[in-house]
Amino acid sequence: MDKEKSRLDSAVIVLIEESSQSLILTQRSHQLKNHPGEICFPGGRWQAGDSDLYHTALRELWEELGIDAGRVYSETPLAVEKTLTGFIIHPWLARIKTLNPCRLDNQEVAEVFRTPLSQVCREANYEFIPVEREGLVFQSCRYLGEPDRFVWGATARIMMQLCALDLTN
């Protein structure tokens, strides 16, 4: 992977917990420089030593939540999403029997939580919102299924992809 690409590419695990039929989301630590406090999937930037972007996502899952790659199965790539800040996110849909045991890295993750797939897969739970950046207005997306949390942008767009999939098996 060339230097320019690796600087912009990141990968996330879109993790379904089988036991609760829920999607696993995290809230980023408020101490982080980039996107503090935002809701996202476990993941991060590609690093030298990652054999590919899927392994980037698995490495980050281990670093952020202490979940070993051996517990994750049924990996499927989803459509790539671009962020307003220029990052290119490569999402991988995967399953896990149960989230626990997990170990949060408090430097990166403030909280981990579940949101029911029945809510995630309802198109009515998404709305398009305007976002202004550097004097320009862009169309973004917000997930409404978590009324006490602001889930938007690339995370919400990736979640919206799940509406088109049969996730019952």
> How many Cα atoms sit within 13 Å of 24 on the Cβ side?
29
- Asked if residue 113 has pLDDT above 80, the reply is yes
Query: What confidence category does residue 168 fall into, taking pLDDT thresholds of 50, 70 and 90?
Result: low
Q: What is the pLDDT of residue 3?
A: 53
Enter the tokens of residue 57: 């996502």
- Asked if residue 140 has pLDDT above 70, the reply is yes
Assign domain 3-117 to its CATH superfamily. Answer: Nucleoside Triphosphate Pyrophosphohydrolase (3.90.79.10)
Domain range list for the chain = 3-117
Question: Across-strand partners of 17?
Answer: 22, 96
- pTM for this structure? 0.90
- Asked if residue 98 has pLDDT above 80, the reply is yes
d(CA 49, CA 58): 13
Average pLDDT over the chain reads 90
